Amino acid sequence: MQGKEQKIIHYDKIAPHRDRWRQKNRYYYRKQEELLTFLFTPKATLLEIGCSTGELLYRLQPSRGVGIDISPAMVNLAQQRFPAERFPHLDFRVDDAEQLEIREIFDYVLLADTLGDFTDIWTAFRNLHQVTGPHSRVIITYFNSLWEPFLKLGERLGVKMPQPYQNWLAPADLVNLLTINGFEVISQGNHLLLPKYFPMVAWLANSLLAKLPGLRKCCLTTHLVARPCLPREQVLPEHSVSVIVPCRNEKGNIRAAVARIPQMGSHTEIIFVDGNSNDGTVAEIEAVIDENRDRLDIKLIHQVPPDSDDGNSHGKMLKLGKGDAVRKGFAAAEGEILMILDADLTVPPEDLPKFYAALREGHGEFINGTRLVYPMEKEAMRFLNKLANKFFSQLFSWLLNQRIKDTLCGTKVLFKRDYEKIAANRDYFGDFDPFGDFDLLFGAAKQNLKIVEIPIRYRERIYGEIKIERFRHGLLLLKMSWLAFTKFKLR
């Protein structure tokens, strides 16, 4: 995974050759300019995020245009090409969408093919509110993930500008990220089935075939237009939060979890639910509780009470599973908002405020984490696990009639009042799920809760062992999928 510094170095190095790459792909850039000219109103004010050397901003003819880029070399070339004395309406600056310094309202904000370089798209979209007003429009163009192998091949063959490792987002990912950050998508479409010019063939492909159902989903780029819809003046209430941390043999992660879980809302309590650990996890939790008794609200409950150990507690734990731990934690929780955080910390606790914000602001009623947007650390998820996750995401999106990109991410957040509705109607599906993920997803869909997803950067486990058994649990997931089919599609 490449960090921001490496990407800045890369683009600084490539800046002197930017014109050559634009010339090699002049047909693509001409068609992109035509699309954006259609979407943009001339003489309006415009902020371009990821302006490169400034050509696109100049050609769109804004009355005031500000271009920002993380690469000082790119910005320097833009300033040389469009000096302030000759182009007083254009302004080029070094700035980062994820740490946005500019404070000015624009009619339009443009992100043209830049999302792949962001390390935190959620934060970048969040920051757009400081440069947009009620009547502003955000225009985004982005590459279709189906083209990833062809674009990589183009880089190897020297016909496309090389880029660092990119994020690959489906249009639905963009809609979801905009929605949970207070933007409403107004329109979207697809563009360019053939990005190279061939007489007649290019016109046929891009003017006719690219508009047909099915084929349009194969186009190189996606574009969308969005508007702000987050109330700017409304004061939203704060809520108390309960973070449930199921754990079994996670001694080495306990202190890190407590240190890294942020304080959220009006009050935050942390509830560890221990599953009969034998590595000192319980003693570690009790020590942390004592050390933080006057500062933090931390509780410990036992999934199997210690005094009930009859020599078969390990067998009980295999039967009960994480799902039972989550239910016991939810039952003991006093917060208005319930959160699940796996004790392995593969989902960063620092991301929990994003889930809180999405729920508090009403963008969704069941907030699900997704690990399948950002690049993962090398050992974070095995290849077969990733394939299975993608398969089940497609299957469950169809079964539940709501988009689910990652069914098995352990972090899920909802109001306690909505969880109580799910629990009250659990008999409709039965006690079928040792993991807890599907029990909650099925219940949320049955209660018509709006499900939205927060992308997280999935980390490699640094302590303890993976609890998932791929093939045995994979068969169990298929059985649960069949149950969902009978309940949602055969009713």
Asked whether residue 167 falls in the same domain as residue 220, the answer is yes
What whole-number distance in Å separates Cα of residue 336 and Cα of residue 460?
31
> What's the DSSP call for residue 380?
S
Q: Which amino acid is located at 124 in the chain?
A: A
Asked whether residue 132 falls in the same domain as residue 254, the answer is no
Q: Would you say 36 and 65 are in contact if contact means Cβ atoms under 8 Å apart?
A: no
What whole-number distance in Å separates Cα of residue 281 and Cα of residue 148?
44
Of 202, 168, 52, 165, which Cα lies nearest the Cα of 112? Answer: 52
CA–CA distance from 102 to each of 38, 105, 188, 409, 489 (Å)? Answer: 26, 9, 27, 35, 50
Asked whether residue 185 falls in the same domain as residue 270, the answer is no
Asked whether residue 244 falls in the same domain as residue 189, the answer is no
CATH for 298: 3.90.550.10
Q: Would you say 52 and 29 are in contact if contact means Cβ atoms under 8 Å apart?
A: no
CA–CA distance from 451 to each of 246, 341, 405, 428 (Å)? Answer: 23, 18, 11, 20
What whole-number distance in Å separates Cα of residue 233 and Cα of residue 350?
27
Q: Is residue 298 situated within a structural domain?
A: yes
Total domain count, the chain: 2
pLDDT score for 26: 92
344: exposed, middle or buried (Cβ count in 10 Å: 0-12, 13-18, 19+)? buried
**pLDDT per position as a tens digit, 130-184:** 999 988 999 999 998 888 888 889 888 888 888 887 888 888 889 999 999 999 8
* Per-residue tens of pLDDT for the chain, all 491 residues: 457 888 999 999 999 999 999 999 999 999 999 889 888 888 899 999 999 999 999 999 999 999 999 999 999 999 999 999 999 999 999 999 999 999 999 999 999 999 988 989 999 999 999 999 988 999 999 998 888 888 889 888 888 888 887 888 888 889 999 999 999 888 888 889 999 999 999 989 988 888 887 888 899 999 999 988 866 556 788 999 999 999 999 999 999 999 999 999 999 999 999 998 999 999 999 999 999 999 999 999 999 876 655 555 444 544 568 889 999 999 999 999 999 999 999 899 999 999 999 999 888 889 999 887 777 666 555 666 667 777 777 787 777 777 788 877 889 999 999 999 889 888 877 776 677 778 898 888 877 788 889 998 887 766 655 555 555 656 777 877 787 777 776 55
Asked whether residue 353 falls in the same domain as residue 405, the answer is yes
Last residue of a domain, one of 228, 251, 271: 228
Of 95, 94, 158, 159, which Cα lies nearest the Cα of 130? Answer: 95
What whole-number distance in Å separates Cα of residue 43 and Cα of residue 32?
19
Asked whether residue 138 falls in the same domain as residue 264, the answer is no
What whole-number distance in Å separates Cα of residue 460 and Cα of residue 29?
39
pLDDT score for 314: 47
What whole-number distance in Å separates Cα of residue 181 and Cα of residue 372?
19
Q: Is residue 234 situated within a structural domain?
A: no
Q: Would you say 400 and 487 are in contact if contact means Cβ atoms under 8 Å apart?
A: no
- Token duo for residue 464: 């303890």
Asked whether residue 200 falls in the same domain as residue 274, the answer is no
pLDDT score for 1: 44
Asked whether residue 264 falls in the same domain as residue 342, the answer is yes
Asked whether residue 217 falls in the same domain as residue 250, the answer is no
Q: Would you say 421 and 447 are in contact if contact means Cβ atoms under 8 Å apart?
A: yes
Q: Is residue 459 situated within a structural domain?
A: yes
One DSSP character per residue, 401-423 reads SS--S-TT-S-EEEEHHHHHHHH
What whole-number distance in Å separates Cα of residue 273 and Cα of residue 329?
6
Rounded to 5 degrees, φ, ψ at 45 are -85, 145
Last residue of a domain, one of 201, 228, 255: 228
Asked whether residue 436 falls in the same domain as residue 313, the answer is yes
Q: Which domain holds residue 99?
A: 4-228
The β-bridge relationship of strands 412-415 and 45-49 is unpaired
**pLDDT per position as a tens digit, 241-277:** 999 999 999 999 999 999 999 999 999 999 999 998 9
Q: Is residue 233 situated within a structural domain?
A: no
- Token duo for residue 354: 């994003």
- Token duo for residue 168: 């690959």
Last residue of a domain, one of 228, 261, 285: 228
Q: Would you say 449 and 414 are in contact if contact means Cβ atoms under 8 Å apart?
A: yes
pLDDT score for 305: 74
Q: Is residue 397 situated within a structural domain?
A: yes
Asked whether residue 314 falls in the same domain as residue 457, the answer is yes
Q: Is residue 51 situated within a structural domain?
A: yes
Q: What's the distance, Cα to Cα, between the start and end of the chain in Å?
A: 45
Of 195, 243, 201, which Cα lies nearest the Cα of 221? Answer: 195
The β-bridge relationship of strands 132-143 and 106-112 is parallel
Confidence (pTM): 0.73
CATH for 90: 3.40.50.150
Q: Is residue 235 situated within a structural domain?
A: no
* Site of tokens 């309406």: 89
Asked whether residue 215 falls in the same domain as residue 315, the answer is no
